[in-house]
Chains A and B, each alone.
Chain A
Amino acid sequence: MTKQEKYKLAKWAMEYALNNGAQEASVSISNSWSSSIEVREEKIDKLEQANQSNLSIRLFVDKKYSSHSTNRLNQKELERFISEAIEGTKFLSEDEFRTLPDPSLYFKGKGDDLKTMDDSIENIEPQKKIDLAFAVEKEALGKDERIISVSASYYDGMDGTVMVTSNGFEGDTANSYFGIYASVSVKGGDARPSAGWSESALFFDKLKTKEIGTTALKRAIKKLGQEKVESGNMPMLLENRSVGRLLGPIITALNGSAIQQKNSFLIDKLDEKIASDKLTITDDPFIISGYGSRLFDEEGIASKKRPVVENGVLKTYFIDTYYGKKLEMEPTSGSTSNLVFKPGSKDLKELIKSIDKGIFVTGFNGGNCNGSTGDFSFGVEGFLIEKGEFVKPVSEMNITGNMKELWMNLSGVGSDVHKNSSWLTPSLLFNNVSFSGV
């Protein structure tokens, strides 16, 4: 579907809803295309291609609310789909807080380009993608006698969405992505540890295509001989790519829904200290070619750059129109765009050198966080550090504590910001983390 065809169908669906019992409506139509190639043992293991379309509609009927989606886009079926949706909605309870956003908050600009779509995606030869995957496999295959399996993948895709609302919003987005992934398994004793490594980009010519297989192999080999070490409280250095696991509970706790439903350990903490001075995070929707860059959010609300945490002080909750009304707060946005950490001055090597005895955590294994109290416990793997040097690989250990204490104990922020994500995170050093092992 072209953008114009999507707009036409979206407006038709919205009008149809308004003419058949809905007082307000919002319609999105998206289509996406993706391909992937996985290679193993110098053969193509899996070739996949996908092309999908979807219509989703939010309905406001007699002060009642529902949302629906379908991939059946012919008008005859949509008429029935929308009519049934409206009839069903009438059996719900009224919800006075359900409305479309205040139109004055909508994005109204034209012509801005955050460069999230690579139009060259349609011209990349399939053979070129296959060759890239094989080249990455080759970096590792046969390079060490302990290897038992190497696989490599190339993937890419694009999606385009248009949205219209009955109180005046019209907007569209387009995104592309490209990625390469390698996974290597090695054997030593009974254990067969594996490690993966990935690179990605929004533009094909920005995609890093080298040292992916070699990095996965190196990381797998380093895991040989993993064992748990003695339980104790010690510093934890967390690798940049893994920070999301511990940041996630904070972001969840800042969501309007969690706040209003009393399922957050950060209720009533605006302008209070929730972390050490070292932590500064900005939500920046306007990074050129950023993974989370956007001019407007899921509701059409115009994006703004916002401080989330400044020197440890909480500055923003993530609040959409609905929970804003319930909480009597101004809506910000119900979701994050790009979360940008203010980097520190030390690189990873310097952070490692600074540790007398601690653990460098490079990956997680299960675990969870209690959203209302912040109590967490996660399985971890990584390396024991003594006197600034790696001593041995560790695994089968847990870290346990409370999110509020953990982030107050943040004592170091690396300069090594990981950029292949909408959360731009450096490596982080936390003091006094409870590890359980032997």
Chain B
Amino acid sequence: MYINRRLFLKTSGTAVAGSVLLPPFMQSCQGNQISLDVKGYLDHFEVSTEMLQKVIGAAMSKGGNYADLFFEHKTTNSLALQDGKVNRASSNIDFGVGIRVLKGDQTGFAYSETITPNAMLNAAKLAASIANSNSSYSTAPFTEKIPADFYKINKKWEDISVKDKVPFVQKINDKVFALDEKVIKVNAFLSDETSIVLFYNSEGKLSYDYRPMVRFGVVCIMEKDGQIENAYAARSFRKGFEFLNEGIVDLLAQEAVDKTNILFKATKPKAGEMPVVMGAGGSGILLHEAIGHTFEADFNRKGTSIFSDKMGKKVAESFVNVIDDGTLPNNRGSINIDDEGNESQKTYLVKDGILNSYIHDRISANFYQVDPTGNGRRESFRHVPLPRMRATYMENGSASKDDIIQNVDYGVYVDNFSNGEVKIGAGDFTFFVKSGYLIEKGKLTQPIKDINIIGNGPQALADISMAASDFKIDNGTWTCGKSGQACPVTCGLPTVLVKKLTVGGTNA
């Protein structure tokens, strides 16, 4: 289980290593315009309600007690800049239907890239083979679920030409070079993705979603007295073309330059255990790794999480409220419905310091006999849903950032991260600090960089001893990995003090 701020999309097929992204030329397969009703989605995938029922019938034919169909058409377009020019583009189309059959907590799964009755029926029969008895299924009446709309957009990416996007990528390059004469190289990218989803299950539930995503970022490489350093800045949202403007270009350029500059002065701290002040925003990686994954109910159902016996118990100070939220407007981690057709929601994982809810998919919610939390997510139609996070954050405390720093005699302040990881059963989690500061006698002093911090989840959660009122979400390009599946997420935190973590560094 890990998270990282992956800058570039996976390259597809046999594309040459290093080749990156580009433009939305690719609009659709059948050329249909999406209308915002269910008929538009059915037409898009060229399926009828009768066909859906027939495929579900085949999926249930060997005695499964639940089945679902997840149709997806995803289009990705990317542009990249290197050596001063927007000189590479890429695009990808992925299209198909995943068919899943459950028998209790057992799963049968197959998918088809061709949406014809025969191809779907064959896949349904493969998935059905998880069960091995007679079917008692009778077709359920349709219930159409009109999803919420947490990511309203003005300008769909499908309608935007490469020509309209290129100038923003070029401008960010020029801006970074203009900001600092130490800049020797700039890499920039812009990637947009549009995913059209249709869902139907054996209970008759029919739903759909239109999921836009944009990622925009820049890597700044500087040289000073023979030393080369680089840092990057990026943002990602479920937004349309309206996301791009001069403001975001200026913001990212400045941030990348500032983050790189600090590295020339930075050193490694002394190794060992010490207090760690987590700055507001991206420090939410602490929650994602230290407790988020270990709250995922598939691990708890199997008893393999260190939090398996802790439901309803006190796990943190009473000011600690931790939330996993799929409803933040235009957030990278938001979803209108999860990939099992359940409504998205704001879920309190820790309420007033007490473990309040795990993160559920359909199988685990059923196991624990609780309502679904809308966390059943998958990378694509090729994958089975799993309990996954969305936007994971902690609510404000009452202290101030200054109070918290003043409270530390010797420790570190960290606010810029690249990746993290956790061992679910042992509870050990890590996050990698790109840059931060030493704290000496209550003041930020020497900049630090490139260190791993490691702790134990339950202990770290209990050790959150102060929280400020400066909560913010980090809207970086966070991507969470689990069981080989990548999912877009975000995280957030107010400034907090963790009494003790193990900080990588040098030994005197």
- Which A residues form the contact surface with B (CB < 8 A)? 28, 30, 40, 43-56, 58, 64-72, 77, 80-81, 84-85, 87-89, 91-95, 98, 148-149, 151, 161, 163, 185, 187, 190-194, 223, 226, 228, 231-233, 255, 257, 261-263, 298-299, 320, 322-323, 326, 334-335, 365-373, 375-379, 381, 395-400, 434-438
Interface with A: B107-115, B197-205, B354-362, which one?
Answer: B107-115
Q: Is the CB of B303 within 8 A of A400?
A: no
For residue A133, give the distance in angstroms from its CB to the closest CB of chain B. 13
Q: Is the CB of B185 within 8 A of A395?
A: no
On chain A, the residues within 8 Å of B92 by CB distance are: 68-70
Choose among A87, A91, A400 the residue that contacts B451 (Cβ–Cβ < 8 A): A400
> 1/0 per position for B206-250, CB-CB distance to A under 8 A?
000000000000000101000111100000000000000000000
Between A and B, 14 residue pairs with Cβ closer than 8 Å are A67-B88, A67-B90, A70-B26, A71-B93, A91-B162, A148-B303, A223-B426, A262-B185, A263-B228, A298-B15, A365-B454, A373-B228, A379-B454, A435-B507
Q: Is the CB of B16 within 8 A of A58?
A: yes
B464 in the interface, Cβ–Cβ < 8 Å?
no
Q: Is the CB of B425 within 8 A of A47?
A: no
Interface with A: B267-275, B405-413, B468-476, which one?
Answer: B267-275
- Which B residues form the contact surface with A (CB < 8 A)? 2, 11-19, 22-27, 29, 31, 79, 82-83, 85-96, 105-113, 126-127, 129-130, 161-163, 166, 184-185, 187, 221, 223, 227-230, 268, 271-273, 289, 302-306, 308, 382, 384, 418-432, 449-456, 458, 502-507
Choose among A49, A55, A396, A438 the residue that contacts B428 (Cβ–Cβ < 8 A): A396
Q: Is the CB of A263 within 8 A of B162?
A: no
Q: Is the CB of A434 within 8 A of B22?
A: no
On chain B, the residues within 8 Å of A72 by CB distance are: 29, 93, 95
Q: Is the CB of B86 within 8 A of A368?
A: no
Q: Is the CB of B107 within 8 A of A47?
A: yes
Q: Is the CB of A91 within 8 A of B163?
A: yes
Q: Is the CB of B91 within 8 A of A44?
A: no
On chain B, the residues within 8 Å of A335 by CB distance are: 17
Lowest 6 A-B CB distances belong to which pairs? A366-B430, A56-B13, A436-B271, A366-B421, A398-B504, A93-B85
Docked pose: A101 CA to B86 CA in angstroms: 22
Q: Is the CB of B304 within 8 A of A84?
A: no
- Contacts A50-B110, A397-B502, A434-B505: A370 and B450 contacting too (C-beta < 8 A)? yes
On chain B, the residues within 8 Å of A55 by CB distance are: 13
On chain B, the residues within 8 Å of A94 by CB distance are: 85, 87
Choose among A45, A56, A376 the residue that contacts B12 (Cβ–Cβ < 8 A): A56
On chain B, the residues within 8 Å of A334 by CB distance are: 16-18
Main secondary structure of the interface of A (DSSP, over half): strand
On chain A, the residues within 8 Å of B268 by CB distance are: 375, 400
18 additional A-B pairs beyond A49-B110, A70-B93, beta carbons within 8 Å, are A46-B108, A46-B384, A47-B107, A67-B88, A68-B92, A92-B166, A148-B303, A148-B304, A193-B423, A226-B426, A261-B221, A366-B431, A366-B432, A367-B421, A368-B432, A377-B451, A381-B428, A396-B456
On chain B, the residues within 8 Å of A161 by CB distance are: 14
On chain B, the residues within 8 Å of A51 by CB distance are: 112-113
Chain B's closest residue to A437 (CB) is B502
For residue A268, give the distance in angstroms from its CB to the closest CB of chain B. 12
Q: Is the CB of B502 within 8 A of A396?
A: yes
Q: Is the CB of A93 within 8 A of B87?
A: yes
Q: Is the CB of B87 within 8 A of A95?
A: yes
For residue B195, give the distance in angstroms from its CB to the closest CB of chain A. 14
Q: Is the CB of B426 within 8 A of A231?
A: no
Q: Is the CB of B25 within 8 A of A85?
A: yes
Q: Is the CB of A320 within 8 A of B504?
A: no
Q: Is the CB of B113 within 8 A of A396?
A: no
Docked pose: A322 CA to B382 CA in angstroms: 33
Q: Is the CB of A45 within 8 A of B221?
A: no
For residue A102, give the distance in angstroms from its CB to the closest CB of chain B. 15
Choose among A92, A187, A377, A399 the residue that contacts B162 (Cβ–Cβ < 8 A): A92
On chain A, the residues within 8 Å of B162 by CB distance are: 88-89, 91-92
Docked pose: A372 CA to B305 CA in angstroms: 37
Q: Is the CB of B449 within 8 A of A375?
A: yes
- Contacts A64-B87, A85-B25, A398-B451: A436 and B504 contacting too (C-beta < 8 A)? yes
For residue A207, give the distance in angstroms from its CB to the closest CB of chain B. 20
Q: Is the CB of A193 within 8 A of B271?
A: no
Chain A's closest residue to B306 (CB) is A192
Docked pose: A71 CA to B12 CA in angstroms: 11
On chain B, the residues within 8 Å of A396 by CB distance are: 428, 454-456, 502
On chain A, the residues within 8 Å of B453 by CB distance are: 398
Docked pose: A261 CA to B12 CA in angstroms: 22
Q: Is the CB of B17 within 8 A of A192?
A: no
On chain A, the residues within 8 Å of B272 by CB distance are: 231, 436-438
Q: Is the CB of B18 within 8 A of A257?
A: yes
Choose among A228, A372, A377, A399 the residue that contacts B221 (Cβ–Cβ < 8 A): A372
- Which of B31, B83, B454 has most A Cβ within 10 Å? B454
Chain A's closest residue to B165 (CB) is A91
On chain A, the residues within 8 Å of B184 by CB distance are: 262
Q: Is the CB of B17 within 8 A of A320?
A: yes
For residue B377, give the distance in angstroms from its CB to the closest CB of chain A. 17
On chain A, the residues within 8 Å of B31 by CB distance are: 80
On chain B, the residues within 8 Å of A193 by CB distance are: 423, 425-426
Chain A's closest residue to B12 (CB) is A69
Choose among B79, B228, B430, B449 the residue that contacts A365 (Cβ–Cβ < 8 A): B430
Q: Is the CB of B229 within 8 A of A373?
A: yes
Docked pose: A48 CA to B505 CA in angstroms: 44
Choose among A30, A228, A377 the residue that contacts B450 (Cβ–Cβ < 8 A): A377
Choose among A65, A262, A434 the residue that contacts B271 (Cβ–Cβ < 8 A): A434
- Contacts A397-B502, A400-B504: A84 and B87 contacting too (C-beta < 8 A)? no
For residue B171, give the distance in angstroms from its CB to the closest CB of chain A. 13
Q: Is the CB of B26 within 8 A of A81?
A: yes
Docked pose: A88 CA to B452 CA in angstroms: 42
Q: Is the CB of B502 within 8 A of A372?
A: no
Chain B's closest residue to A191 (CB) is B426
Docked pose: A69 CA to B451 CA in angstroms: 38
On chain B, the residues within 8 Å of A95 by CB distance are: 85, 87-88
On chain A, the residues within 8 Å of B451 by CB distance are: 377, 398, 400
Docked pose: A80 CA to B93 CA in angstroms: 12
Q: Is the CB of B14 within 8 A of A163?
A: yes
On chain B, the residues within 8 Å of A91 by CB distance are: 23, 161-163, 166
Docked pose: A373 CA to B449 CA in angstroms: 11
For residue B437, give the distance in angstroms from its CB to the closest CB of chain A. 16
- Contacts A191-B306, A320-B16, A365-B423: A261 and B452 contacting too (C-beta < 8 A)? no
Chain B's closest residue to A399 (CB) is B504
Docked pose: A53 CA to B88 CA in angstroms: 24
Docked pose: A388 CA to B432 CA in angstroms: 32
Q: Is the CB of A398 within 8 A of B502?
A: yes
On chain B, the residues within 8 Å of A231 by CB distance are: 271-272, 507
Docked pose: A67 CA to B93 CA in angstroms: 12
On chain B, the residues within 8 Å of A320 by CB distance are: 16-18
Q: Is the CB of B419 within 8 A of A368?
A: yes
Q: Is the CB of B432 within 8 A of A367?
A: yes
Q: Is the CB of B130 within 8 A of A44?
A: yes
Chain A's closest residue to B79 (CB) is A92
On chain B, the residues within 8 Å of A194 by CB distance are: 304, 423-426
Q: Is the CB of A397 within 8 A of B454?
A: yes
On chain A, the residues within 8 Å of B418 by CB distance are: 368
Choose among B82, B86, B87, B93 the residue that contacts A81 (Cβ–Cβ < 8 A): B93
Q: Is the CB of A395 within 8 A of B428?
A: yes
Q: Is the CB of A255 within 8 A of B18?
A: yes
Q: Is the CB of A67 within 8 A of B506?
A: no
Q: Is the CB of A262 within 8 A of B23?
A: no
Chain A's closest residue to B73 (CB) is A72
Chain A's closest residue to B309 (CB) is A190
Docked pose: A72 CA to B85 CA in angstroms: 31
Docked pose: A87 CA to B91 CA in angstroms: 13
Choose among A40, A65, A67 the residue that contacts B87 (Cβ–Cβ < 8 A): A65
Docked pose: A438 CA to B456 CA in angstroms: 13
- Contacts A46-B109, A52-B382: A190 and B458 contacting too (C-beta < 8 A)? yes
